[in-house]
Amino acid sequence: MKKIAVVGAGITGVTTAYALSKRGFEVTLYDRQRYAAMETSYANGGQLSASNAEVWNHWATVAKGVKWMFTQQAPFLVHPAPTWHKLSWFAQFLAGIPRYRDNTVATVRMAIAAREHLYAWAEEEGIAFDLRRQGILHIYRDKPGFERARAVTQVLAQGGLERRPVSPEEMRAIEPTLHGQYYGGFYTQTDATGDIHKFTTGLAAAAQRHGAVTRYGAHVADVRTDGNGATIACTIDGHTTQERHDAVVICAGSFSRALAARLGDHVNVYPVKGYSVTVQLDDAASQAAAPNASLLDDATKIVCSRLGADRFRVAGTAEFAGFNRDIRAERIAPLMDWIHQCFPHVETRRVIPWAGLRPVMPDMMPRVGPGRSPRVFYNTGHGHLGWTLSAATAEMVAQSVALAARRA
């Protein structure tokens, strides 16, 4: 078992292709876009955030979802139109609530392991991606939000994460440009930020240097396995081809569910849309007024990251609307309002909006490892922590493939 197909060239597919190539496998990486990282891995919030590893399976999340259902600018928006996929997903989401603590702890441990791999790969391959290892500050405007965060901090500590409370004065020492009144915050010094697109494209090039073959612009129409290998049917430049591999790893994000069904597996990924705006800091005054620290506002579910000297990324919200990729003005508005409130001296004349579909499993845990067939593997469903977890899950699935290869 030497020839491995990887379907999907976002962050999980590229890290998987890289980890497999480093182990000597002959990897072919498929993606329908002309380049790597052109969908959900294009313009996320930029955080490598073990401190945001809390899973969503909590009754407080359910209450907020019901409360905000008909508020178009809500941080968490569920469109009421029912589909079987949505209903089945939410049923499994509710079933995952008893595992909230265990899954959060497991996610923290993955996140901590992942960043060591990611930093090592970037250094080894010379990948520049606007990395800032200056921590992440969670901000709270009232005591109830702060006290709930204190309880979450205790759960994160069980997974090995150090996150400390900070006063409003300490918050302003960490980020002097932040405006507004705050009750307090929590600071995770070991977290970091960067540009996911730059990292992913850089690692894709590194995988190619290690022998991986890329099939960009390849629309994968079908994936089949007979138990002895996998066949990928795809269309490139109008020509349909079939290529045979010894095994396949599905890293197709929100599209993994449909591909898994063809392979006899149930991977109940749901596409949860998130939005971002990238503010171009074109003048010295805006560059000075924009934050250097990365922030996470728990009340609004908005994050921000500084990307180099002249860019500022603000992202957030979770919208359950199926495979709709429309960039809606009423969903971008809260991000812009947040900038104007928290960083009023940043010029927002030139802003690039974006939306992407996060692949979310009902229990918020990524699906990593073998499928029903001995020649099928998965690395998908990372939700809001795709970049944060990707290096660890890539190593996990590469080890799984290597073990299967030795047994074959």
DSSP state of 297: E
Spatial contact of 178 and 295, defined as CB atoms under 8 Å apart: yes
Q: Three-state SS string across 190-250, please?
A: CCEECCHHHHHHHHHHHHHHCCCEEEECEEEEEEEECCCCEEEEEEECCEEEEEEECEEEE
Report the CATH fold assignment for 3-407. Answer: FAD/NAD(P)-binding domain (3.50.50)
Domain ranges of the chain: 3-407
Spatial contact of 243 and 231, defined as CB atoms under 8 Å apart: yes
pLDDT in tens, the chain (408 residues): 999 999 999 999 999 999 999 999 999 999 999 999 999 999 999 999 999 999 999 998 888 878 777 777 878 888 878 899 999 999 999 999 999 999 999 999 999 999 999 999 999 999 999 999 999 999 999 999 999 999 999 999 999 999 999 999 999 999 999 999 999 999 999 999 999 999 999 999 999 999 999 999 999 999 999 989 999 999 999 999 999 999 999 999 999 999 999 999 999 999 999 999 999 999 999 999 999 999 999 999 999 999 999 999 999 989 999 999 999 999 999 999 999 999 999 999 999 999 999 999 999 999 999 999 999 999 999 999 999 999 999 999 999 999 999 998
Structure tokens at 174: 């960490």
Q: What is the dihedral of CA 250, 255, 256, 261, to 10 degrees?
A: -120
67 Ramachandran zone, left/alpha/beta (phi>0; psi -120 to 50): alpha
Spatial contact of 278 and 348, defined as CB atoms under 8 Å apart: no
Cα gap 166→168, rounded to integer Å: 7
Spatial contact of 354 and 43, defined as CB atoms under 8 Å apart: yes
Looking at 41-195, list the stretches that DSSP marks H as alpha helix, in order from N- to C-terminal side: 59-67, 84-95, 100-125, 143-158, 168-174
| pTM, rounded to two decimals | 0.96
Beta-carbon contacts of 175 under 8 Å, excluding residues fewer than 6 positions away, are 137, 291, 292, 293, 295
